[in-house]
């Protein structure tokens, strides 16, 4: 059996400013870091020992992952978290030449596949101001429709496609081997995973709400079937 832990990043500085964030790389707020620390303690209370971590390329998700894996030694099972950068990235400094030590290290894999939904021209805009300009119905359509793209951005359907591909190619092999997996990501990339795990329809998934810093734990068999689900409130 494998445990898959989904954690939406802690509260960011743009969450506090009520702005559309998307791919803008905004760090956690003090509240967000505290939420991540509490999430670590909740995972530790469940006596879950993480074997591998995936996160987006955005700092708020990476910060959340690092805090979750360093606040409580039990969560990382005494191992040292090591960020494993993309070996195909021409701008990286050769870290890929290090093969790692699985007995002592816990790999963290950052990937753009788990980035937040791209909000295009809405990024950086205050949500209340955007509602005042375009109307509540239009903004709700941009934010919560499965198929509609905001101006210049991604639909939830677009996000689901990239997340599904990554899940099947990179995450699922760890499930087959019974590993415990932590994923620190974003509201929409995690909605995409929940859509798959809970067999939700395009009409159901937009209404899924994820609270910052609250882990959701799935128990999965080796075929990826959900045996149970628990929200660590």
What is the set of active-site residues?
A: 9, 116
Asked if residue 200 belongs to a known ligand binding site, the reply is no
170 is in an annotated binding site: no
118 annotated to bind ligand: yes
Contact of 5 with 209, CB cutoff 8 Å: no
Q: What angle do CA 11, 16, 17 make, to 5 degrees?
A: 140
Please indicate if the annotation marks 188 as binding a ligand.
yes
11 labeled part of a ligand binding site: yes
146 known ligand binder: no
Q: Is 10 annotated as a binding residue?
A: yes
12 among annotated binding-site residues: yes
Sign of CA dihedral 222, 46, 32, 213: positive
Q: Is 191 annotated as a binding residue?
A: no
Q: Are strands 2-8 and 181-185 parallel, antiparallel or unpaired?
A: parallel
Does residue 147 have a known ligand-binding role?
A: no
> Is there a binding annotation on residue 144?
yes
Q: Is 22 annotated as a binding residue?
A: yes
Q: Do 222 and 19 meet the contact criterion of CB atoms below 8 Å apart?
A: no
Give the residue ranges of the annotated binding site: 8-15, 21-22, 60, 116-119, 127, 143-144, 187-188
Give the residue ranges of the annotated binding site for substrate: 8-15, 21-22, 60, 116-119, 127, 143-144, 187-188
């Amino acid at each position: 059996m494998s445990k898959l832990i989904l954690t939406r990043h802690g509260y960011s500085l743009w969450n506090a400013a009520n702005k559309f964030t998307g791919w803008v790389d905004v760090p956690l707020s003090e509240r967000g870091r505290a939420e991540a620390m509490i999430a670590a303690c909740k995972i530790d209370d469940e006596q879950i020992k993480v074997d591998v971590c995936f996160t987006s390329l955005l700092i708020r998700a990476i910060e959340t992952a690092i805090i979750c894996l360093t606040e409580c030694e039990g969560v990382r099972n005494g191992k040292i978290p090591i960020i494993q950068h993309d070996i195909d990235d021409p701008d990286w400094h050769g870290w890929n030449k290090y093969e790692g030590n699985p007995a002592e290290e816990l790999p963290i894999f950052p990937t753009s596949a788990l980035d937040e939904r791209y909000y295009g021209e809405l990024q950086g805009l205050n949500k209340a101001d955007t509602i005042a300009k375009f109307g509540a119905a239009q903004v709700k359509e941009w934010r919560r429709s499965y198929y509609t793209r905001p101006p210049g951005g991604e639909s939830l359907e677009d996000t689901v496609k990239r997340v599904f591909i990554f899940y099947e190619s990179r995450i699922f092999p760890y499930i087959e081997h019974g590993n415990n997996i932590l994923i620190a990501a974003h509201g929409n990339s995690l909605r995409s995973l929940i859509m798959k795990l809970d067999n939700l329809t395009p009409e159901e998934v937009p209404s899924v709400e994820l609270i910052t810093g609250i882990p959701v734990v799935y128990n999965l068999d080796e075929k990826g079937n959900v045996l149970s689900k628990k929200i660590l409130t």
